[in-house]
Amino acid sequence: MMTQESAPVLPVPSVRVLGLSKDFGSNRVLDGVDLEFNSGSIHALLGANGSGKSTLIKILAGYHAPTEGRIELHGADLALPATPSAVHSAGVRFVHQDLGLVNTMSVADNLALALGYERRGGTIDWRGQRSAARMDLASVGVHDVDPNAVVGSLGPVQQTLVAMARAMRGLEPGHGVLVLDEPTARLPNAQVDELLDRCRLLRDQGIALIYVSHRLDEVFAMADTLSVLRDGRVVFDGAIGATDEDRLTRIITGKTAGSDAMSDESATDGRIAATDDHVKISLRGVGGTFVHGVDMDIHRGEILAVTGLVGSGRSELGRLIFGSQTKTDGEIRHNGELLRAVTIEQSIERGIGYVPQDRKQAAIPTFSLTDNISLADLSKHLSSGRISAKSERRTAESIISAMDVRPPDPNRLLGELSGGNQQKIILGKWLQLDLDVLILDEPTYGVDIGARTAILTTVLARVAETGMSLLLLDSDIDLVARYADRVLVMRRGQIVAELRGEDVTTEKIAAASYAVHNPGTASAAPGIQEQT
């Protein structure tokens, strides 16, 4: 008598999301996402900016509640809306880009922040705490870090490993989930392999790793499976061997081979570039904390975009040019004059403006709109040695009207405005000056489509009217391809490609940004001039 063979028992995924959707107002940022993440596996989660990756991670962390769908952890439904503590107790841990460490505390103290200190008789057992810290560090393969060391004295990779060890505290072997959000973004190239080795070690211990990254070389070096989100939907989900870097780049960007996002209009949206050979700012061999060996020129009337993925160094480059961060190497010239020391005050005097990505660094939320606008140049409001309130108000009213700020109240506190209107004030503060060069770092980040259009229209008009040079630091490759005369692509602190003219397309920008090939090799994407 024949017996029917039993079907193999499939392992239960560590995390399963089913029909997960998330709306912010009328905007759907996640749409019916189905994904599984298995124990003993490294699963890469990819997607361009705005794809929905961050929202998915925040839902898993209990920071956002989904609009629809459900989440299973180790086969059991997670009660929604979840709390961060409930997710943590269920064995799902996170290491975010900022690591969340306290740099002035010791390694042992930072590790204790996860589950508390070792105790004996109601008091802290410091010897036991140091011993526990060594065990925590050993769980991620670290044996050369002193638990008494101050975290701020450690190198970037050691700090990242401490954050991983803290996240792993209390997890049962083979029963945990570790989400790593761009863990190598702040690491020097030489230290990336060390971190990847630790990830493989955790995988071999049965941990499910969800690895969020833009860096395809890392993904292909260690991931077992990968998923790609685009516009809130899963557009690829499979084994790492089911694709290659060229196809994956097209999947991420949504561009087919040979496509050109600018096919119906010029790369600068019809604007005739008014650039000339006069170099406004020149960099030779410039380096900083992460940026190194940068050579570049910004010409008069040019819209030069510098783009790249998270951790590419584009934001640091802007700070080095403006003087809000001190360069460690190289030289910077303005109109041919060597700048011995680049300072913020000197840059403003020379007509160089700078809008950082973080609005909190560009303005004071508790100050009025008038006060924030005046801070750009108080000298223009001086009368008989005193600041004229009437002059300040006239200037503020003019900028508020020109930038269409809502509500148009000069006395309103900046922090009471929407993000888009705050950005209009910050930009208007600089545009009131006679600028030679304006540096914009992600100028439309976190603003609505209406404010985005107004901001870009205003800046382009100023470039056309005055011949001001614009340095646009942005990760939005569609925006870059539409508006830039020339594009420099950064990767891991270096400029690796230059695109100009008909080569300024989203496809070629993406190819240079995501490339796993070494700069200067023959395998570079067609039309891309790679720099060494």
409-421 tens-digit pLDDT: 999 999 988 888 8
User: Per residue in 361-375, is it b (16+ CB within 10 Å) or e — as a string?
Assistant: ebbeeeebbbbbbbe
Q: DSSP labels for 308-349?
A: -STTSSHHHHHHHHHTSS--SEEEEEETTEE-SS--HHHHHH
Q: What is the largest CA-CA distance in the chain?
A: 109
Cα–Cα dist 301/311, whole Å: 28
Given a cut of 80, whether residue 232 has pLDDT beyond it is yes
**What per-residue confidence (pLDDT) applies to 11?**
62
Given a cut of 80, whether residue 490 has pLDDT beyond it is yes
pLDDT one-digit tens code per residue, 117-176: 888 888 888 898 899 999 999 988 888 899 999 999 998 889 999 999 999 888 876 779
**What per-residue confidence (pLDDT) applies to 495?**
97
For residues 43-64, give the mean pLDDT. 89
Round the average pLDDT of the chain to a whole number and report it. 87
Query: Tokens for 530?
Result: 């790679």
CA 437 to chain centre: 24
For residue 306, the 8-state DSSP code is E
Ranges 95-109, 321-335, 375-389, 432-446, most confident: 321-335
* Degrees, nearest 5: CA angle 409-413-419: 90
Query: Which residue type, as a one-letter code, is found at position 530?
Result: E
For residue 415, which phi and psi values (nearest 5 degrees)?
-65, -15
pLDDT-derived band at 31, boundaries 50, 70, 90: very high
pLDDT-derived band at 389, boundaries 50, 70, 90: very high
Decide if domain 15-253 falls under CATH 3.30.565.10: no
Given a cut of 50, whether residue 371 has pLDDT beyond it is yes
pLDDT-derived band at 475, boundaries 50, 70, 90: confident
For residues 176-201, give the mean pLDDT. 86
For residue 234, the 8-state DSSP code is E
pLDDT one-digit tens code per residue, 258-273: 554 433 344 344 444 5
For residue 27, which phi and psi values (nearest 5 degrees)?
-100, 120
Given a cut of 60, whether residue 530 has pLDDT beyond it is no
Sign of CA dihedral 231, 233, 236, 239: positive
Nearest CA among 195, 191, 206 for reference residue 42 = 206
The fraction of the chain above a pLDDT of 70, given in percent, is 89
**What per-residue confidence (pLDDT) applies to 148?**
94
**What per-residue confidence (pLDDT) applies to 394?**
95
As annotated, the residues of the chain forming the CATH 3.40.50.300 domain(s) are 15-253, 274-351+435-532
**What per-residue confidence (pLDDT) applies to 269?**
46
Given a cut of 90, whether residue 367 has pLDDT beyond it is yes
pLDDT one-digit tens code per residue, 280-311: 999 999 999 889 999 999 999 999 999 998 77
- H-only helix segments in 139-233: 156-168, 189-204, 216-222
**Cross-strand bridge partners of residue 331:** 284
Cβ pair 325, 314 in contact under 8 A: no
Cα–Cα dist 496/530, whole Å: 5
pLDDT one-digit tens code per residue, 69-120: 999 998 999 999 899 999 988 999 999 888 889 999 999 999 998 778 888 8
- 3-state SS string for 449-517: HHHHHHHHHHHHHHHHHHCCEEEEECCCHHHHHHHCCEEEEEECCEEEEEEEHHHCCHHHHHHHHHCCC
The fraction of the chain above a pLDDT of 90, given in percent, is 58
pLDDT one-digit tens code per residue, 346-362: 999 999 999 998 888 89
Q: Is the pTM higher than 0.75?
A: no
pLDDT-derived band at 257, boundaries 50, 70, 90: low
User: Which CATH number is 274-351+435-532 given?
Assistant: 3.40.50.300
pLDDT-derived band at 256, boundaries 50, 70, 90: low
Do the bridges between strand 486-491 and strand 469-473 make them parallel or antiparallel, or are there none, so unpaired?
A: unpaired
Query: Which residues lie below 8 Å from residue 452, measured CB to CB, with a gap of 6+?
Result: 420, 444
Do the bridges between strand 486-491 and strand 329-334 make them parallel or antiparallel, or are there none, so unpaired?
A: unpaired
Given a cut of 90, whether residue 447 has pLDDT beyond it is no
Cα–Cα dist 86/75, whole Å: 15
For residues 219-233, give the mean pLDDT. 94
Cβ pair 70, 77 in contact under 8 A: yes
Higher pLDDT, 511 or 276: 511
**What per-residue confidence (pLDDT) applies to 501?**
92
**Cross-strand bridge partners of residue 71:** 17
Cβ pair 287, 454 in contact under 8 A: no
Cα–Cα dist 305/441, whole Å: 10
Given a cut of 70, whether residue 241 has pLDDT beyond it is yes
Cα–Cα dist 161/504, whole Å: 39
Helix, strand, coil tally for the chain in percent (to 5): 35, 25, 40
